[in-house]
Structure 1
Amino acid sequence: MTSKHFLLFFFFLSAYLLSSSSAARKLSALVEKQPLTITYHRGPLLAGPVSVDIIWYGNFTSSQRAVVSDFLASLSTGEESPSVSSWWTMTRKYYFVATKHAPPRLTLGGQTLDEDYSRGKSLKNADIEELAAKGRRSGGISVVLTAKDVAVEGFCMSRCATHGSSGRSGAGRFAYIWVGNSAAQCPGQCAWPFHQPLYGPQTPPLVAPNGDVGVDGMVINLANMVAGVVTNPFGGGFFMGPAEAPLEAATACPGCMEKVLTRATPASFWLIPRRARATMPMGTTGESIFFRQFLTRQRRRVLLLWDVEIKG
């Protein structure tokens, strides 16, 4: 190839690449990022005053029980921000879309201690539902909390907590939540960000606000499950994706609250990428989780997810 032919070839190649990149920019400008939408599937939701009963399975200290009980009792106290009840007001958006009524008012109900491990130290899903039945059977929420020495089907492998509902019966139908204490089994998976993550960058963890890595991790997981069970108690409420593996109120919208951080201080907010599972500086972009510190009615500190917003 002569130098003249080479120059002509180079000229046409450059022109082609320039036009291609320009077209790509125009095309990308026309394609708008679609907002994540959590859909209401017209199923029943919880209404009116709802009692939250706790079943403590295994050994928990009185201070551990106080942290969790105080958190649940603080959901509907109506105190000013940054209280737990101000975090809970996010559920109003879902109920106003679905029913035009206020969400149920959660109250702390009865508490049952099962310190003798009545069903052993290795539980199946059926055991969790049987334990949940010890709570209020109709129109309530039963919360089963398992101690750090109790193994539960799927715990640490595919889940840290879950929620579900009982079948229909003459005794009524109830929703339930299970959360495990991961302190001795998998804190890097289920007590993050208060423990170094099992995978990803090994940056220093956040300090557990109540000095108990396992229980403070339980509070985060419990908060997610409470938001999920109230907005999707029986499988036909608010969620996106397949019903078999739904993304619910506290998990479906990563990064939606980024605009809130423009007026936040690093002392009250933490921005954490889901994939890296490690704390990052303020302003990091990408697939992220936002944590914020809230106060219970007894002025205890809890760290909760703050990345949820309903779309449409």
Structure 2
Amino acid sequence: MGPVLTANTTVHVIWYGTWSRQQKHILRGFIRSISDDSAPHPSVAGWWRTVRLYTDQTGANVTAHISLGSEKNDRHYSHGRSLTRLTVQHVIRAAVAAPRRPLPVNPRGGLYLLLTSADVAVQDFCAGACGFHYFTFPPSSATPSLTRGWATPPRAARASARTPSPCRSTSCRRGRGRGRRRPPNGDAGVDGMVSVIGHELAELATNPLVNAWYAGADPSFPTEIADLCQGIYGTGGGGAYTGR
């Protein structure tokens, strides 16, 4: 049994591509709501309390404190409009090693979330995954003083605003005409991202080094906690406890 995220966690966001103020507002609001215990039921914070039930080998629970940290705009598509999983790591490396306003490097409580706009293609997007998470060590050439001090390396996750089925918000895929459901925030792509970001944060918190909470014989292709109920909401979804 490996570690889970027990330390207070700060999410640093990289906005890759072109984003409107409203899109950023929606996604910032979601991240901030994870630890907002003052919100009325049902709430994102209430959902996160289910995630917090998972523990590490010492019995310590997943952190209750998720906050929004620094942000970096990459509106000029520094690594092009077609990214591979390896390129995603390069984008994050560039953000933490930037000569101007680099993202802070926090090896214990830093989480780096790369969000790609609708005009960016990403390897396997919506064919193999709607998002993914992993961990990475920054190169010594970029941050020589930190390579020795990392008990828990920074984690990286990404999602995309281009959300055709099955990544699109479920509220946008039911019904036609006057009875058709509308996305909660009026933006089907970004509302789909809210679901994907929540999915990846839950799995990242419970399986950050790909050696904690997962099922399957191959940890490189694990079934993680959010995979058990993907696209299913409420009590009993997916054969697992998904909240009420």
Equivalent residue number for residue 197 of structure 2: 222
Cα distance change on mapping 1:308 and 1:182 into 2, 3 Å: farther
Cα distance change on mapping 1:136 and 1:248 into 2, 3 Å: farther
Which protein shows a greater Rg?
A: 1
After superposition, what is the alpha-carbon deviation per residue over 1:211-233, rounded to whole angstroms, capped at 9, x for unaligned? Answer: 00000000001100000000000
Q: Distance in 2 between matches of 1:191 and 1:54?
A: 21
Which residue identity is paired with 1:209? Answer: P
Which residue identity is paired with 1:236? Answer: N
Question: What is the alpha-carbon root mean square deviation over aligned residues?
Answer: 2.5
Q: 1:167 Cα deviation (Å)?
A: 3.5
**Are 2:233 and 1:290 aligned?**
yes
Cα distance change on mapping 1:308 and 1:61 into 2, 3 Å: farther
**Aligned partner of residue 142 in structure 1, secondary structure:** strand
Equivalent residue number for residue 241 of structure 2: 309
| Structure 2, gaps ≥5 residues long | 96-102, 139-146
Cα distance change on mapping 1:112 and 1:158 into 2, 3 Å: same
Q: 1:155 Cα deviation (Å)?
A: 1.0
Q: 1:129 Cα deviation (Å)?
A: 1.1
Equivalent residue number for residue 3 of structure 2: 44
Q: 2:167 aligns with which of 185, 190, 207?
A: 190
Q: 1:47 Cα deviation (Å)?
A: 2.2
| Structure 1, gaps ≥5 residues long | 1-41, 197-201, 255-273, 275-288, 293-304
**Are 2:209 and 1:249 aligned?**
no
Q: 1:148 Cα deviation (Å)?
A: 0.1
Q: 1:119 Cα deviation (Å)?
A: 0.7
Equivalent residue number for residue 184 of structure 2: 209
Q: 1:150 aligns with which of 93, 117, 120?
A: 120
Q: 1:132 aligns with which of 80, 85, 92?
A: 92
Cα distance change on mapping 1:121 and 1:68 into 2, 3 Å: same
Q: Distance in 2 between matches of 1:219 and 1:78?
A: 19
Q: 1:188 Cα deviation (Å)?
A: 2.3
Q: 1:194 Cα deviation (Å)?
A: 3.8
Q: 1:203 Cα deviation (Å)?
A: 4.2
**Are 2:38 and 1:62 aligned?**
no
**Are 2:130 and 1:160 aligned?**
yes
Cα distance change on mapping 1:215 and 1:55 into 2, 3 Å: same
Q: 1:235 Cα deviation (Å)?
A: 0.7
Q: 1:159 Cα deviation (Å)?
A: 1.2
Q: Verify the 8 A CA contact 1:290 1:307 in the aligned structure 2.
A: no
Q: 1:248 Cα deviation (Å)?
A: 1.1
Q: Distance in 1 between matches of 2:117 and 2:84?
A: 15
**Are 2:60 and 1:113 aligned?**
no
Q: How does 1:225-244 map to 2 (within 5 A)?
A: 225-242=200-217, 243-244=219-220
Equivalent residue number for residue 176 of structure 1: 156
Q: Verify the 8 A CA contact 1:136 1:142 in the aligned structure 2.
A: no
Q: 1:98 Cα deviation (Å)?
A: 4.0
Q: How many residues align?
A: 215
**Aligned partner of residue 238 in structure 1, secondary structure:** coil
**Aligned partner of residue 239 in structure 1, secondary structure:** coil
**Aligned partner of residue 227 in structure 2, secondary structure:** coil
TM-score by length of 2: 0.79
Which residue identity is paired with 1:238? Answer: W
TM-score by length of 1: 0.63
